[in-house]
Amino acid sequence: NAGVMQNPRHLVRRRGQEARLRCSPMKGHSHVYWYRQLPEEGLKFMVYLQKENIIDESGMPKERFSAEFPKEGPSILRIQQVVRGDSAAYFCASSPPDQETQYFGPGTRLLVL
Amino acid sequence: GEDVEQSLFLSVREGDSSVINCTYTDSSSTYLYWYKQEPGAGLQLLTYIFSNMDMKQDQRLTVLLNKKDKHLSLRIADTQTGDSAIYFCAERGGGSGGYQKVTFGTGTKLQVIP
């Protein structure tokens, strides 16, 4: 059973460009969570999704950030018009229906020049 | 919102025991977790404990939970250089309708000196 997969592992964007981060949950997992980790800081919750539904986006910035988890395919975290402050590691986690545990992907490290 | 606190740094000698501490504020926590993050990698779930337990042991790892004081600790016996990493405490709770958010601490960087 493959773990949580994220791609790309590293992403470089110039200010004003768009960043698309992908996450494929573990097989059988229907819940996806996105977190952001700034350098030398802990993880900050961004958004929690189930298939085709956003359940909790309380940690997501109101502008430029969006997330989806379509019926088919990976979950996507999209950042429009990136700024230098968006540079961080973005982690995706998935959990089975009971949500007892979350399993993390390797992360996408975004660098905005 | 809920808060999870950890000390930032711990240094131990190889072969000694390490104890990483964590405090949390959510009195309705259901599960508490310890994750390990090595440089450049994601978070690896090490162990977790249900809130009605006060201890869990798994090989070199011992988790102690004091629910009254909202204090969680992770003890690593016979610490090895490969244990050098950042350790995150996390708690799940405080939600309703079947959804309980997980809140992470800021992480404790464990340095093991050979």
**DSSP states of A33-49:** EEEEE-TT--EEEEEEE
Helices vs strands, H then E, count in chain A: 0, 11
User: Which position has the token pair 């110039």?
Assistant: A14
CB contact burial A43-62 (16+ within 10 A = b; e otherwise): bebbbbbeeeeebebebbee
Q: Give me B46's structure tokens.
A: 């090490």
Number of neighbouring beta carbons within 10 Å of residue A92: 29
- Predicted confidence pLDDT, tens digits, chain A (113 residues): 579 999 999 999 999 999 999 999 999 898 999 999 987 778 899 999 998 899 999 999 999 999 999 988 999 999 999 999 999 999 999 998 777 788 999 999 999 99
Q: E-assigned strands of A1-97? A: 5-7, 10-13, 19-24, 31-37, 43-50, 53-56, 65-68, 75-79, 88-95
Residues B91/B31, Cβ–Cβ less than 8 Å: yes
- pLDDT surpassing 80 at residue B95: no
Q: What is the mean pLDDT of the segment spanning B10-27?
A: 95
Taking contacts as CB-CB distances below 8 angstroms, the residues of chain B near A100 are: 31, 48
- pLDDT surpassing 60 at residue B65: yes
Q: Which residue of chain B is at minimal alpha-carbon distance from A98?
A: B98
**Residue B12 CB contacts under 8 Å (≥ 6 apart), including other chains:** B18, B79, B110, B111, B112, B113
Check residue B33 and give its pLDDT: 95
Taking contacts as CB-CB distances below 8 angstroms, the residues of chain A near B42 are: 4, 6, 91, 104-107
C-alpha to C-alpha distance for A34 and B102, rounded to whole angstroms: 11
Residue among A18, A16, A17, A20 at smallest CA distance from A6? A20
pLDDT in tens, B21-44: 999 998 888 899 999 999 888 899
Residue among A58, A93, A94, A61 at smallest CA distance from A78? A61
Number of neighbouring beta carbons within 10 Å of residue B69: 8
Check residue A110 and give its pLDDT: 97
Mutation target for B interface from A43, A90, A101: give the one with most B CBs within 10 A.
A43
CB contact under 8 A, B43 and A104: yes
Check residue A97 and give its pLDDT: 79
Taking contacts as CB-CB distances below 8 angstroms, the residues of chain A near B33 are: 101
